[in-house]
Amino acid sequence: MDIFDTIREDHEKILGLLDSLEGIDPADVARQEQMRDHLIALLEAHTHAEEALFYPLLANDDGGRPLMVMATEQHHVVSLLVEELRHLPASDEHFAAKCAVLAENLEDHIEEEEEDIFPIAEELIDEERAKALGQQFQQHVNDALAPQRKAA
Ligand SMILES: [Fe+2]
């Protein structure tokens, strides 16, 4: 898998987790919080991998750089929401609303990444590099998730 497929697959997982989180019975606080923790771990691993391995591809491209800067700001807003959500009890009446706002932000961000940034990045790297970066990306995410898996 190249880096584009790898990122797309992660995006599907992230959106799927958000969907699952929304579908949990609000009375089941423990499951909501467990799903929230799982979502945050993947989200952080994914955004860090993007910033380390994917966004730098666009840094020296006239068309790509403004999109990279915008995407980095979107990550920043997501990280602020994540910090608020991290320790928010699922029993709090703001929990579901904050999750919904996070989902809206992520849906827009993911759409911009896949529709606006991917085509530019695809022009900047060849297939071989895209595949190598895909492996590195996966490794980066796996390494970031490893301590969490060990603790679970
Ligand atoms: Fe992103």
Whole-number pLDDT of residue 120 = 97
Distance from the alpha carbon of residue 51 to the mean position of ligand 1, in angstroms? 8
pLDDT score recorded for residue 149: 72
Distance 128 CA to ligand 1 centre (A): 22
Per-residue model confidence (pLDDT) at position 75: 97
Å from CA of 110 to ligand 1 middle: 6
What pLDDT, on a 0 to 100 scale, did the predictor assign at position 52?
97
Cα angle 21-24-30, degrees, rounded to a multiple of 5 = 90
Count of other CB atoms within 10 angstroms of residue 17: 19
- In the chain (152 residues long), the average pLDDT of successive 10-residue segments reads 98 97 95 97 97 97 96 97 97 96 97 98 97 98 86 62
Instruction: Give me ligand 1 centre to Cα 13, in Å.
Output: 13
Distance 75 CA to ligand 1 centre (A): 6
pLDDT for the residue numbered 151: 66
Give the type of residue at 96.
A
Q: How far apart are CA 130 and CA 114, in angstroms?
A: 15
41 CA distance to ligand 1 middle (Å): 14
Q: Are 11 and 71 in contact (CB under 8 A)?
A: no
Q: For residue 52, how far is its CA from the centre of ligand 1 (angstroms)?
A: 11
pLDDT at 152: 59
The dotted CATH code for 3-151 is: 1.20.120.520
pLDDT for the residue numbered 147: 80
- What's the CA-to-centroid distance between 94 and ligand 1, angstroms? 25
CA of 28 to the centre of ligand 1 (A): 30
